[in-house]
Amino acid sequence: MRVKELVLDGFKSYPSRTIISNWDASFNAITGLNGSGKSNILDAIAWVLGITDFKVLRSDKQADLVYKRGNAGITRCSVSIIFDNTDPTNTPEHVSTAEITVTRTFTLPNQTKYLLNGRKADQKVIHDMFQSVGLNINNPNFVILQGKITKVLNMKPVEILSMIEEAAGTRMFETKKQSAKKTMAKKEKRIQEIHSAIDDDIKPKLARLREENKAYHEWVKLQDQLDATLKKCRALEWTKAQERIAKMADEHAEKKDELLVEREGIDEDARQVAETEKRKRDLVKQRDQELQKGGKINKLREQAEKLTSKLGELSGKIAVCEKSSKEESEKMVAAEKEISELEDALGSQREHVEDLQKSHQKLKDEQDARQSQLHNDENLLQSLLTGLGKDADQNGGGYLGQIAAANTRLTQARTDEETLTRKLDMKSREVKEFEAKCKAQEKDAGEGKKRLDALKKELEYLETSLSKCGWDADKEAKFNEDLNHLRGEVRRLDMQRNQARNGTGGLDFDYQSPPNFDRSKVRGTVGRWVKLDEAHHDKALALETAAGGRLFQVIIDDERVGKALLTQCKLGKRTMFIPLNKIESKSITKPQETMVRNQTQGKAVLALSLIKYPEELAPAMAYVFGNTFVCEDTETAKIVAFNSKHRAVTVQGDVYEPSGTLTGGSAARGSGILVRAQEFIRAEEALAAARQGLERIEEQGRQTQSKRDAFSQLQRNVEMKRHELGLAEGAVAGSDVARVQHDLAAAKEAITQLQADVKAAKEKQRLTQAEVKKLEQDMNEFKDNKEGKIDELRKDISKKKALIQKHDVLFRKHQIDWRTAAAELESAEESIERNKTELETMSTSKASIQQELKKLRTEEERVHKEHDDLGIKLAKEQEKVSRFDKELGELDEFIKSSKDTTANREARITKLQKDIEDTENQKTQAADFARRLEKEYQFIMEDKAMFGQPGVYDFSDTDVKTLRDLLTKLDKTNKTMKKKINEKAAHMMSDAEKRDEELGRNLNTILEDRRKIEEKMEDIDQSKKETLETVWRKVSDDFGDIFRELLPGNTAKLQVQEGKDLMDGLEVKVQLGTVWKQSLTELSGGQRSLIALSLIMALLQYKPAPMYILDEIDAALDLSHTQHIGHLFRTRFKGSQFIVVSLKDGLFNNANTLFRARFHDGVSIVERIGRTAGR
């Protein structure tokens, strides 16, 4: 196909019909000035070929193709191309005419159409025709318009690969692949549809139908079971009715016989009671006569009562004295313990004070010595400097005066030593004398010391036992304090509870219980257990109204307790009981409560939810409060009563019944009793808590009783033993041996002190002698070195002053410590004296109390004896009349027993009469019931001979109740199943199973088709890759050859990216001279344009198209390169028609036909210049 003629009408800058004919079959060039419309000719050809990308046509939309966009009165554009179709190698399919005319028109606003040889044709037909001859408008590489060269230079490797794919024609593979994918998508969709149909429709339907079929068969089976059970039940009922008729007849006769016996017994009991009462009257008369003989018994009783009262008074006084004695003993033990601790501490304090005194005296002596030495040194310095010292008038000045004074001290120290030695000898003789006396009196002192040691050991053992007994004085005091506190608290709370009870008297339930009656099973009235939060006190009246009389009913554990209360206890008023094990209530359910709350927007609250109560009383509370709502106003109450059909009470106490009745107008009886009851409940709870605490303390007392008794006994023993030890120590201390031992110890202590003094005097002599020797040495040195000695003496004086000042601080600190310790010692001695004085006072008080206690106990023994003697006398007097009392008691017991027997007989007669009546009624009812069964069920009379026999009517393993329950259950199940039975389920299930099998076969077929398509797609991918590799190598070789022709001495190639696959893309590599360039950016603009043109021409050469449209592809090239390109068109692309737009002579001079476009008066005009010189 070659362009033979082009006709433009209204297209862009060609408003009128313009015919461009005589196109060369090989090389056509179009030139003209910028804006003359030369490129519009190429746009018109591309538009007819079917290009839809308007950017290629340099337009935004199709309306831009109309001359001046229709503003010049032209609203339609049309382009027709007449193709030469005489080349048999390049003829489209299904078109065999010598010429082919293709026309495309567009009419504003948006109407377009194609004409093929004057006939309307579909766009797809036109596209397929052009594509069949190599003009693929989906990837139009045969159209190279302005800017395409730049785009090629900037292409990425993947885009370059796409150009290779287009040249290789592998787009066809992609088309087939896409088509296969679409087919697979359709197959996948169909698979999903089948799966969906199976999972969402067939399987659920099959499962449902199987269940329905199963249910139908079960229902049929149930029908048979129901009929069999009905017959068996009715047969058993008829049999039981016959048995009951016979049984009631027998019981009727027995009851009549028993009734006759009981009436005869009543007559006999009445006769015996009358005789016994006559005998009782006679005995009473005899006893009274005996008692009237004298009032001795009464007098003895009065005396006994007085003695009993006196014994009570004495017991109280004894208890008080014992308590006081115990308290005094505890105080004495504490005081003795404190004195002992103080005396133990006093000895160490004395030793500490003595040590401090000695240390203080030693420091004072040392300080005095330093002061004296300093004074002597200063006097010596003064004498040496002035010749006249401070004490020159006493001993003379200078060294001689110092030496004289030192000799005087030495003499005094020797005198002191001699005096102390004489005293030491005297004391040594005294010690020998005292030791001789002690030895002489040692035998007498041994017994006292042994006794004293034994007492100390006993006391130590008792004190150890006391500490290990598990109890002490603190625990005893704490226990008594807690016990007394809790007893007082229980009394206080009991009084408070009784006061609170006065305001709620209507809620009390008092009764006299019989022996061995468990009062814990009687819980009290309902109102006593209702706890109401303070926030709900405003609803108390509503709650009282809701409860009504039930608020005063008594809660009990079971009906047996109620029976015992009614028959054995004397109740003061008529009472109704609520047994927890039997009471049932129609309480409002949780969903009903929620629904009412929602309907009333929370203005209605269930009465039961407003109160608190023990969990075990829940049945009773539900019975009283569980069916009533408390409403805030009358409107809410109407909604609850008349819409929700529940009982409602307003906070004012008005009652709205679902039946329509209203109650109100004034406060209900007992208004406010629930609020007052809260105080009683709180007091009751507090009292119960206090009693529990008291029980715990008392239980602790019982558990620790043995320990406390042992502690008290040990404490008394310790006090006695301490007293004995004190007496023994006093006796030992007052003996001659003790005095001699004391003198001996004092003498030995004096010897120790004298020995220390003698040693000190000797040390003083030694130091004084050393001082004299040093003074003599200093005096001799002074004669030779006066100035040096004076300086040395001055330094020595300064050191001694500093040392004295330093030691003065230490001396004052020791002095303060000594005086403080002495003051503390004096204070401790005073405390001991005070405690001893208090201990003597307590001992005197305790002795007084013990004396008084002794008197009281003596008096108590006397009164006890007198009371016992009086009791013996009274017993003797009472014995005289005891036989009358004994016989009267026996008679009373017989009368009471007889009357009880009569009462029981009368009750038995009443019961027998009622039983006779009941048996007659039951016999009649059983006969009527049997007749009804016979009339309603004919099989009874027919099969009654088989009733009770093995088989259908075997009654050995069942009863009427079981059969009736089973019959009710089966009937209920039958009614429920009948509503859900589908009798066509079996037929419908068969159809569904066939449909399921058919869909399964379809699914397998589709899955096999999908597998084949996937295999075909794999083959397509492999073929595409092989074809691409072949084309790539061919295009790369042509690319290098064309580039060498355009730029001799250089080459180029297409290569796969390093480290990647062919399918990842290709890149351009250029060799200039001998160097391969790393990037196209290293090339000049012209070189890069040549590279792009070479690549395009290599692609075009691989698969030549019948026509190429090129628009100013030489814009960046110089004249020589443009000529080379023109030459390549002529030599390398024989058989293809080129239509080229160019402004350079080097290109269009090589064209066979040249068209020149010019623009005149706003309209483009085209002229055919003819053949050029390059032909």
- Looking at residue 853, what is its pLDDT? 77
Give the integer Cα–Cα distance in Å for 591 and 598.
Answer: 11
- Looking at residue 888, what is its pLDDT? 66
Q: Is 531 exposed, middle or buried (0-12, 13-18, 19+ CB in 10 A)?
A: middle
pLDDT tens-digit profile of 101-118?
A: 999 999 998 899 999 999
- Looking at residue 631, what is its pLDDT? 95
Per-residue HEC secondary structure of 774-785 comes to HHHHHHHHHHHC
pLDDT tens-digit profile of 337-385?
A: 777 777 777 777 777 777 777 787 777 777 777 777 777 777 777 777 7
Domain ranges of the chain: 1-141+1112-1175
- Looking at residue 841, what is its pLDDT? 83
As a whole number, the mean pLDDT across the chain is 80
pLDDT band at 1096 (very low <50, low <70, confident <90, very high): confident
| Strands 1163-1170, 76-84: pairing kind | unpaired
**Rounded to 5 degrees, what are φ and ψ at 13?**
-90, 15
Q: Contact, 1104 vs 142, CB < 8 A?
A: no
Number of Cβ within 10 Å of residue 151's Cβ equals: 12
Whether the pLDDT of residue 708 is over 60: the answer is yes
- Looking at residue 120, what is its pLDDT? 92
pLDDT tens-digit profile of 757-796?
A: 888 888 888 888 887 787 777 777 777 777 777 777 788 8
- Looking at residue 392, what is its pLDDT? 45
| Between 39 and 394, residue with greater pLDDT | 39
**Rounded to 5 degrees, what are φ and ψ at 1141?**
-105, 125
> Which class is 1-141+1112-1175 in CATH?
alpha beta
Highest mean pLDDT: which of 13-22, 271-280, 490-499, 1054-1063?
13-22
- Looking at residue 228, what is its pLDDT? 84
Q: Is 589 exposed, middle or buried (0-12, 13-18, 19+ CB in 10 A)?
A: exposed
Helix 1085-1102 to helix 985-1046 angle, to the nearest 10 degrees? 120
Lowest mean pLDDT, pick from 66-80, 294-308, 414-428, 947-961: 294-308
Fill in the DSSP letter of residue 84: E
- Looking at residue 393, what is its pLDDT? 45
Whether the pLDDT of residue 668 is over 60: the answer is no
| Between 217 and 921, residue with greater pLDDT | 921
Element (H, E) at 28: strand 27-32
pLDDT band at 803 (very low <50, low <70, confident <90, very high): confident
Summarize the confidence of residues 122-139 as an average pLDDT.
Answer: 80
- Looking at residue 77, what is its pLDDT? 94
Whether the pLDDT of residue 140 is over 70: the answer is no
Cis check: omega of the bond before 140, within 30 degrees of 0: no
The amino acid sitting at 401 is G
Lowest mean pLDDT, pick from 829-833, 885-889, 1071-1075: 885-889
Whether the pLDDT of residue 730 is over 50: the answer is yes
- Looking at residue 1149, what is its pLDDT? 77
Summarize the confidence of residues 975-986 as an average pLDDT.
Answer: 72
Q: How many residues does the chain have?
A: 1175
Strands ordered across the beta sheet of 628-631: 604-606, 628-631, 647-650, 655-656, 662-663
What would the DSSP string read from start to end of 214-235? HHHHHHHHHHHHHHHHHHHHHH
pLDDT band at 1157 (very low <50, low <70, confident <90, very high): very high
Share of the chain above pLDDT 70, in %: 89
- Looking at residue 19, what is its pLDDT? 93
Closest by CA to 1098, choosing from 1141, 1051, 1061, 1062, is 1051
Q: Contact, 664 vs 655, CB < 8 A?
A: yes
Give the integer Cα–Cα distance in Å for 1145 and 1084.
Answer: 23
Summarize the confidence of residues 614-635 as an average pLDDT.
Answer: 91
- Looking at residue 636, what is its pLDDT? 93
- Looking at residue 447, what is its pLDDT? 67
pLDDT band at 1175 (very low <50, low <70, confident <90, very high): very low
Whether the pLDDT of residue 461 is over 90: the answer is no
How would you classify residue 1014: left for phi > 0, otherwise alpha for psi between -120 and 50, otherwise beta? Answer: alpha
- Looking at residue 1095, what is its pLDDT? 82
Whether the pLDDT of residue 649 is over 90: the answer is yes
Summarize the confidence of residues 803-831 as an average pLDDT.
Answer: 79
pLDDT band at 296 (very low <50, low <70, confident <90, very high): low
pLDDT band at 1165 (very low <50, low <70, confident <90, very high): very high
Whether the pLDDT of residue 170 is over 70: the answer is no
